[in-house]
Amino acid sequence: MSKLAAVFCLFLFWGASAQSEMKTKKGFLFTPHVAFHRPGNDLAVRFKNFASIGMSTEYKLKNNFMFGVDYDWFFGNSIKQIGLFSGIDNPQGQIIDKNGDFSAIGLNIKGNYGTVNLGYLLNIPSDEPFSGVLFMLGAGVMQHKIDIISSQITIPQLNGIYEAGYDQLTYGLSTKQFIGYQYLVSRNKYHFRAGFEFNQGFTQGRRTWDFNANKSGLDKRFDTTIAFKAGIIVPIYTKSANDEEFFID
């Protein structure tokens, strides 16, 4: 999978170089990105800082408005909540498997975040139609859970449906705001975008029962993050008939 991602990125770089000299004010922008999130509100109770990778795709109009979609995949060894298995572990916080051994269990964040976006690019400098301060608003869906990494063969307490009683699956509608700078000039083949993103998830637990808390897992939540996001832009410019230039000898 990582090799395919590397080949894809190389292809995008090649495409960016090939397209960098076209003179127009509109086109598609493909931006693979990485982000570092600081959780807030209910999300901060469950997780520490975590990261995400993803892709955004926008179309920029001649009037500098942009619309598109954005996707992020959450990952990280960032579980903050303690005592997740208090009903099945020993006083030292360890779980004993069916062989009588202490089990090694890994806990990670796993999630997805997709939005539909509308933005505006304030050109700075004014003579570069694809560079400037970018403002973006979006709405979509946020989903996250605790990814439990264990041997289900030797730990029957976490096997199959029992794991779902501990992973705290959560999802719901979300909104976001982004402000940053976009650098994309025709004389330079290196294009990037970087800025801060503010995310709000109006989510709800989706497991009927939380085995650890011994109560319903359908609590409503307010999950937020503040993220620093940076990515490399691959432009594919488009032209209308009015943009074409004709030369007559």
Provide mean pLDDT across the span 190-206.
97
170-183 and 234-238: which strand pairing? unpaired
Segment 94-121, tens digit of pLDDT: 777 777 777 778 899 999 999 999 999 9
The β-bridge partners of 70 are 56, 115
Tell me the pTM.
0.84
Domains and CATH numbers, the chain: 29-238 (2.40.160.20)
Give residue 3's pLDDT band: very low, low, confident or very high (50, 70, 90): very low
Segment 32-52, tens digit of pLDDT: 999 999 999 999 999 999 999
Give residue 247's pLDDT band: very low, low, confident or very high (50, 70, 90): very low
What is the dihedral angle through the alpha carbons of 230, 235, 240, 243, rounded to the nearest 10 degrees? Answer: 90
Cα 191 to Cα 133: distance, rounded to the nearest angstrom: 14
Whether pLDDT at 19 is above 60: no
Contact 144, 74 (CB under 8 A): yes
Cα 129 to Cα 45: distance, rounded to the nearest angstrom: 43
What does the pLDDT read at residue 101? 74
What does the pLDDT read at residue 16? 46
Non-local (6+) Cβ contacts of 56 within 8 A are 29, 30, 31, 33, 68, 69, 70, 71, 117, 231
Non-local (6+) Cβ contacts of 115 within 8 A are 69, 70, 138, 139, 140, 141, 174, 176
What does the pLDDT read at residue 6? 54
Segment 135-168, tens digit of pLDDT: 999 999 999 999 988 766 678 778 777 889 999 9
What does the pLDDT read at residue 151? 66
What does the pLDDT read at residue 138? 98
Average pLDDT, the chain: 86
Element holding 164 (H helix, E strand): helix 161-164
